[in-house]
């Protein structure tokens, strides 16, 4: 989810979404603070997915070839080729 999408949600909705991700948001904080917290969770999840997709030989290390291949796959998927 993008920050713009998250900004459209109410504090209650952000709190509920946080619970689905395993975090408890404190509604006493400003909405922008809540958005930053939940956006960080989504960013971390995305980074993990990208890393797991890139590590094709599952050795725990993403080498240059794996990184280049993963970047090309994501580029093609974003352009609608795959």
Q: Digits of tens for pLDDT over the chain (82 positions)? A: 889 999 999 999 999 999 999 999 999 999 999 999 999 998 888 878 777 778 888 888 888 888 888 888 878 887 776 5
- Give the domain ranges of the chain: 3-79
4 vs 23: CA distance, rounded Å: 20
Answer whether 3's CB lies under 8 Å from 41's CB: no
Q: Please state, in angstroms and as integers, the Cα–Cα distance from residue 65 to each residue in 52, 55, 61, 72, following that order.
A: 14, 10, 11, 11
- At 35 the pLDDT is 96
55 vs 73: CA distance, rounded Å: 13
Question: The pTM is what?
Answer: 0.64
């Amino acid at each position: 989810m993008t920050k713009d999408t998250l900004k459209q949600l109410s504090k209650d909705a952000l709190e509920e979404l946080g619970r689905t991700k395993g975090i408890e948001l404190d509604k006493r904080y400003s909405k922008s603070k809540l958005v930053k917290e939940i956006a960080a969770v989504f960013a971390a999840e995305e980074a993990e997915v990208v890393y797991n997709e890139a590590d094709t030989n599952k050795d725990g290390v993403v080498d240059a070839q794996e990184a280049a291949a993963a970047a090309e796959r994501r580029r093609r998927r974003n352009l609608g080729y795959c």
